Amino acid sequence: MEVKYETVKQTLRNEIIDGKYKINEKLPTESELMKRFDVSRYTIRRAVGDLENEHYIYRIQGGGMFVQDWQRDWSTTEKNKIIGVISTHMADYIFPSIISGIDEIVSQRGYSLIVGNTLNDHKRERQTILNMLDLKIAGLIIEPTESALPNPNLDLYRQIQKYSIPTILFHSSYPGFSFPNLLTKDLEAEKKLIKYLFSLGHSSILGVFQINDQQGVDRMSGMIQAYQEEKIPTTKSDVIMYQSNDSYADIIKKVDLNLKGNKTITAIACYNDALATRIISHLHSLEYRVPDDISVVGFDNYEMAQIIHPKLTTANHPKRLLGEDAGKMILKMINGDQVESKLYNPEIIKRDSVALPKVKEDKNE
């Protein structure tokens, strides 16, 4: 049923975008759609309901379904003094610092923030953007959702660009768009982390990276490039790839399998500090000593990285600085000024979770 529902929804959505059905044109009836797609009325209503929520379709009681003006002119002479911030995650980790940095700057000019959390889900991203556009926000600061994957919401981004709504992207960007962006040199920073491990004698390293976001892809690429540049065979490394909706429990299971299958691993490079702290806790539960038995590095310099035991070696994400820069840039754009994209070079923070490798006793014997 799920496959049929998605097929109906995506087919109608694509036909509307492609112009088969024009703005305000009446759509086929439910019965006609049932016959066309060979599905139940429930499936049609579920698909149409989603399209209505996403502003593609509207209904007239007793009159049928019609194509919504999904290409509406979002520009207006009167803007609210509200700036929309859309992030993949909002309540914890590094994001409160970013939002706090934005708010400190824009509030000085009388602007308020409205925040949206996509949970790295494209459907939520679409609805969040539409809701904010309906509020006639003055500008947008957006972290792209699942930035390493094709985005079905690029039509909305085209509309935002068409109507010159001040917009900044952070952590990733989209080819073909002119939005200024705030990016970190993730590939280069991860490469430095891996080369630091090399300098201590580690050559068999397990990388664990989230690959549905561009940051994770870049960090994984940094690890691979470090091996290539130092002419260390990549066969000495292992990589676990996961997505943002994978549970920590499933990721930890994969780590266990790799450690059991490759006894030469002496270090683990994690996508971020949140994952690194989980892995360190799990290793402790298995009576591994970090860093004596195995070294661990993270990424982002999350607050917890400084207080866990051992303190985590990591790369410093700009966090609050990125937020402050985003606030300054969006205010300039609202004022009609041009701004330049910014690129941050994360500093490697060396702490206690890394040590010289040594021969490890087999924990499974």
pLDDT per residue as tens digits for the range 9-39: 989 988 888 789 988 899 999 999 999 999 9
- Where b means 16+ CB within 10 Å and e means fewer, 210-234 reads bbbbbbbbbbbebbbbbbeeeebee
Each domain of the chain, given as residue ranges in start order, spans: 2-67, 82-179+319-344, 186-313
Could you tell me if 165 and 106 are in contact, meaning their C-beta atoms sit under 8 angstroms apart? Answer: no
Burial class (CB in 10 A: 0-12, 13-18, 19+), 73: exposed
Residue 20: DSSP 8-state: S
Q: Which two tokens stand for residue 45?
A: 């209503």
pLDDT score of 13: 87
Is the pLDDT at 362 greater than 50, yes or no? no
Q: Residue holding tokens 């593609």?
A: 56
* DSSP code for 316: B
Least confident of 15-24, 112-121, 178-187, 213-222: 15-24
Residue closest to 184 by CA, chosen among 301, 317, 276, 85: 317
Instruction: Output the six-digit token pair for 10.
Output: 């995506």
Q: Does position 365 have pLDDT exceeding 60, yes or no?
A: no
Q: What percent of the chain has pLDDT over 70?
A: 95
Gap between the Cα atoms of 165 and 80, Å rounded: 13
Percent of the chain topping pLDDT 90: 78
Contact predicate 360/266, CB 8 Å:
yes
In this prediction, residues 117-134 reach a mean pLDDT of: 91
- Note the pTM of the prediction, 2 decimals: 0.82
pLDDT above 50: residue 234 = yes
Query: Residue 291: is the preceding peptide bond cis (ω within 30°)?
Result: yes
Distance CA 208, CA 268 (A): 7
What separation in angstroms does the CA of 14 have from each of 265, 307, 344?
48, 50, 38
pLDDT bin (cut points 50, 70, 90) of residue 363 is very low
pLDDT for residue 252 is more than 90: yes
Q: Do domains 2-67 and 186-313 have the same CATH topology?
A: no
Opening angle at CA 90, ends 149 and 131, nearest 5: 75
Nearest by Cα to 323 from 85, 34, 44, 93: 85
**Contact, 305 vs 298, CB < 8 A?**
yes
Enumerate the β-bridge partners of residue 207: 239, 269
Question: What does the pLDDT average to over 31-48?
Answer: 93
DSSP-derived secondary structure letter, 363: T
CATH of 2-67, picked from 1.10.3720.10, 3.40.190.10, 1.10.10.10, 3.30.70.860, is 1.10.10.10
Q: What mean pLDDT is predicted for residues 63-73? A: 83
Query: Please, which pLDDT band fits residue 92 given cuts at 50, 70 and 90?
Result: confident
CA proximity to 242, closest of 284, 207, 281: 207
* DSSP 3-state of 128: helix
For domain 82-179+319-344, give its CATH number from 1.10.3720.10, 3.40.50.2300, 3.40.50.450, 3.40.1740.10.
3.40.50.2300
> Any idea which architecture 186-313 has in CATH?
3-Layer(aba) Sandwich (3.40)
What H or E segment, with its residue span, contains residue 113?
Answer: strand 112-117
* pLDDT at position 78: 64
Residue 193 and residue 295: Cα distance in Å, rounded? 12
